[in-house]
């Protein structure tokens, strides 16, 4: 990784991409790094593809980058699309069981792609695929898919558990903090298990 780390969060409008990016940005900031972030709103909110980028390091110039070190995807198709952002040493953290079918697929004009594993292997990308929906449900709300994925991504990001906890506290509204802390822990634990298995 270069001196600046780029994390892109991809998904579908309404999936909490912006909140996920806010948690990561707060975490990096509270860890003492410079952070810049960028998101595209507006049209993207109505069920379109959404991309949010967080960059951190000793010194960060640009808030955007055409390449990412880590991509966090809250939806399978967007995860496969997001592989294009990653270089060979990048990591994809994907909610592999979450599928939101786009209109063209509903109308059978196009096919929903399936093979995340193959596509990731083809690019030489490290893949952390998990049932983030299941973890979020276990934590208490389906809406915590984004934070469960952050928990999983924490395995490859240079922050302590304490940093993450403080980041969550800073970015997540108090009402839903507990359920999000649980989702984060479940995501983090899921990767730890995967690591042991592999």
Partner 1 sequence: MERQLFFSGNEAIAHGAVRAGAGFACGYPGTPSTEIIEATAGLRGIHSEWCVNEKVALETAVGASLAGVRTLVTMKHVGLNVAADPFMTLSLTGVNAGLVVISADDPGMHSSQNEQDNRNYARFAKIPMLEPSDSQEAYDFVAEAFALSEEFDTPVMLRTTTRISHGRGQVLPRVPVEVLPRDYARDISKYVMVPQYARQRNRLVLERLEKLRRRAEESPLNVLEAGSSDFGIIASGIAYSYAREAFPKAWFLKLGMSHPLPYAKVTRLYEHVSRVAVVEELDPFFEEQVRALGLPVVGKAAIPADGELDQETIFRALEPYVLRKPPRRRRPVLPPAPRLADPPKPAPGLPVRPPVLCPGCSHRSVFASLRKQKLAPMGDIGCYTLGALPPLLAMDSCLCMGASVGMMAGFNKALGKKAAVGVIGDSTFFHSGITALIDAFYNEVEGMLVILDNRTTAMTGHQGHPGTGLHPDRAQGPTVDIQKLCEGIGVRCVTVDANDHKALDAAVKAEAKAPGLGVIVALAPCVLMTRQVAGEVCVDEERCNLCGLCVDIGCPAIAPGEESIEILDSCTGCGLCVEVCKRKALTLEPKGGGA
Helix, strand or coil for residue 55?
strand
Helix, strand or coil for residue 65?
coil
Residues 154 and 110 sit within 8 Å (Cβ to Cβ): no
Q: How far is the CB of 159 from partner 1 (least distance, A)?
A: 30
Pick from 38, 39, 97, 102: which binds partner 1 (CB under 8 A)?
102
Give the separation between CA 58 and CA 24, rounded to whole angstroms. 16
Q: By CB under 8 A, is residue 103 in contact with partner 1? A: yes
- Within 15-44, the residues that bind partner 1 by CB under 8 A are 41-44
Stretch of 108-116, 146-154, 157-165, 185-193 lying at the interface with partner 1 (CB under 8 A): 108-116
Q: By CB under 8 A, is residue 179 in contact with partner 1? A: no
Closest by Cα among 139, 124, 121, 125 to 189 = 139
Q: By CB under 8 A, is residue 46 in contact with partner 1? A: yes
Q: Take residue 95 and report the two structure tokens written for it.
A: 């909610």
Only one residue has tokens 């922050």, namely 159
Pick from 62, 89, 106, 193: which binds partner 1 (CB under 8 A)?
106
Residues 20 and 52 sit within 8 Å (Cβ to Cβ): yes
Q: By CB under 8 A, is residue 101 in contact with partner 1? A: yes
Binding-site ranges for partner 1 (CB under 8 A): 12-13, 41-49, 77-78, 80-81, 84, 101-108, 110-113
């Amino acid at each position: 990784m270069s001196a600046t780390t780029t994390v892109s969060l991809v998904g579908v409008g309404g999936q909490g991409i912006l909140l996920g990016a806010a948690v990561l940005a707060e975490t990096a900031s509270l860890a003492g790094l410079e952070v810049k972030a960028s998101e595209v709103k507006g049209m993207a909110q109505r069920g379109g593809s959404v991309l949010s980028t967080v960059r951190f390091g000793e010194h960060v110039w640009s808030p955007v980058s055409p390449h990412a070190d880590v991509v966090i995807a809250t939806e399978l198709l967007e995860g496969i699309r997001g592989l294009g952002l990653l270089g060979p040493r990048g990591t994809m953290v994907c909610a592999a069981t979450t599928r939101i079918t786009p209109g063209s697929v509903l109308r059978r004009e196009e096919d929903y792609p399936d093979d995340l594993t193959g596509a990731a292997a083809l690019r030489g990308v490290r893949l952390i695929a998990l049932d983030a929906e299941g973890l979020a449900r276990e934590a208490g709300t389906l809406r915590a898919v984004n934070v469960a994925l952050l928990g999983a991504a924490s395995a490859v990001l240079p922050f302590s558990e304490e940093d993450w906890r403080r980041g969550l506290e800073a970015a997540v509204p108090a009402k839903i903090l507990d359920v999000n802390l649980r989702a984060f822990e479940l995501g983090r634990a899921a990767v730890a298990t995967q690591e042991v298995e592999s």
